[in-house]
Chains A and B, each alone.
Chain A
């Protein structure tokens, strides 16, 4: 790789020079402008700034950052190539580790993965690895053809991937590079899974997903949409046509709170709310045919990234007030710090230590309020977080016309119910071994269908790990 470097031969900066550079900032759309549009919030780095930030990397002899990355991106290598100005080399390096850098550069919680381990972070701020990843991913997208995917000779093996979300796409990329013939089955009409139906445009523009999917297709990955495994084909039928399978069909069924009034008009699951707006482009209604209720006062229940996405989407659809209702405190929120911060900047209100007990409706059965109770934190529960306990007599009502329930999902039974041979845990999630293989030989699984609700990057890590094990499996059989 280094041999192909077209970098001008400049002397490398010394450690002292590197240490003198401050962490660079990424510019963002102004909060009070962006909360009324669906354009991307983070604006990326200009080339000069990206190269300067790359110079901050100390090129540690024993780097810690890589171990924090679920897909094991060789961070020092791509950052070194970038700092030398070898963008094509950096892109090539990145893409050989990570098929979706434009995605992960935007949605990964780097602050709890690679950056938290960065040695520069011991004194001062870590290298902005996420920004650099995004920069390289975006450069690669604008310069297709300059990082040809090197494919192994055809293995003659056929592999099916169920689901075209982050886990499935990552596995597909890894498998096609290893010379296998890969077909991805997607239930919806567009590939991308949660990247297209769940994560909003303002956090992950859909043209980036499209481009990264297109790169995989160019490498030979075949994507078949509108195919619901468990309905259109069963797992056993796929096993007859393919040598191995990777199941990454996602989480699926939204969980409701089981409180009175949840079926009133104006109550959405976050999945439905976000799918209408993102996948179906309801924010463009009537130019797009799918509508979404544009409430003036919206309450979103939950404290994860999906809750932040919903509340921020509501604001952009024109809500006068958009409130997050969470039963613990800000400290326990599972959402990324950046998302909480962005939400606050955009005028999202937070009701901490509050739990809903009833959705209230008017005589026409439209939502008109969310009856809640105040909570206090008690002893730690099974998750290790303090258990919220209701304060007696503290009931109050948050007036609202729309309620979005973002308290999680449970395993979708469509696939597993039609394949009783797959061992499941008590929550309906597929059980896998350390290589990602299920109880069926040659059938691997990863992402939310294994983990329950997790993150994009953990699904990608599963896809990568399983692809390696599948490759070994495919070389051993027959």
Chain B
């Protein structure tokens, strides 16, 4: 059992849970994730470790409540517990040792970019972060990233920071030759747009992929993605890959596999079948 130590709403549908997981807190590296199962009957879902406090023995999970499972997780309160957390899983981020790093986070992906920026910062690599959201209230992890370097905030509606997409800001920075390596995490269309910007400039670009997973240890192969025309399992070969080689169309398509089921579960959930408040 993993007790929830604190709960922080970050945006209208994104919540941060700081959860007791001492071993993982101690050894996790940037880019790694955990598999979380809330309780009996719940799904196993992969979540990137957004931050960790080895002294408190806690890890930070940042969860966007979109389906039944994520809604139930974000409905948990401090003092309640998550039954199963396994990890840390996946390879750690390939962190450069020198040069200027550009970290781009879109929506909840900003929480995934955060540990990468932490790792780079710890190595003395200057970090510039570009983060974005639909509007001001959707921007997350701004203050955490400001501790690690300069941050450019973008909002789609211009309600905060620069008006426009993160890719617009990235284009300007790249045009000035301001980045030797790019780390981009966010919705698939955003990551695809970023690699389309960096490909002609030959700027190495690492993306973190979020396909459907079950076990997270390489056993099921459900998380297969195509990278450089080779099939890879995101859980054991990734979750981060060279963005210039990733088949984003395939990733996007496979992410829709269970859409009907997700809708069905959500409908049942809204009709009162959710285990919200029963943990």
Contact = CB atoms under 8 A, between A and B. Distances in A.
Nearest to B42: A289
A265 interface: yes
Contacts of A287: 41
B117 interface: no
B21 to A, nearest CB: 10
A454 B250 CA distance: 33
Interface in B27-58: 27, 37, 41-44
A289 B220 CA distance: 17
Interface stretch (B105-113, B159-167, B260-268): B260-268
Interface in B4-37: 23-24, 27, 37
Interface string B191-223: 000000000000000000000001101111110
Contacts of A262: 231
Contacts of A286: 261, 264-265, 268, 273
A268 B258 CA distance: 13
11 contacts: A226-B84, A226-B85, A228-B89, A232-B88, A256-B224, A286-B261, A286-B273, A290-B43, A290-B214, A291-B258, A413-B218
A287 B258 CA distance: 16
A151 B222 CA distance: 43
Q: For chain B, what secondary structure do more than half of its interface residues adopt (helix, strand, loop), or is it mixed?
A: mixed
B83 to A, nearest CB: 7
Contact of B253 (A197, A265, A293, A412): A265
A281 interface: yes
B186 interface: no
B256 interface: yes
Contacts of B257: 265, 293
A252 B219 CA distance: 5
Interface of B: 23-24, 27, 37, 41-44, 68-69, 83-89, 214-215, 217-222, 224, 226, 231, 233, 236, 250, 253-254, 256-258, 261-262, 264-265, 268, 273
Interface in A220-250: 225-228, 231-233, 250
A359 to B, nearest CB: 13
A320 interface: no
Interface stretch (A12-20, A116-124, A271-279, A369-377): A271-279
Given A252-B218, A286-B261, A291-B261, 12 more contacts: A188-B86, A189-B84, A197-B215, A226-B84, A226-B86, A228-B217, A253-B221, A268-B222, A285-B261, A286-B273, A365-B253, A412-B217
A280 interface: yes
A189 B219 contact: no
Contact of A275 (B24, B42, B219): B219
Interface string A70-82: 0000000000000
A136 to B, nearest CB: 32
Contact of B37 (A189, A252, A271): A189
Contact of A252 (B23, B217, B256, B265): B217
Given A291-B258, A293-B257, A189 B221 contact: no
Interface residues of A, number: 39
Contacts of B264: 286
Contacts of A253: 218-219, 221, 233, 236
Given A269-B221, A290-B214, A228 B69 contact: no
Contact of B215 (A188, A281, A293): A188
A263 B224 contact: yes
A272 B219 CA distance: 7
A272 B83 contact: no
A272 B220 CA distance: 4
A405 to B, nearest CB: 9
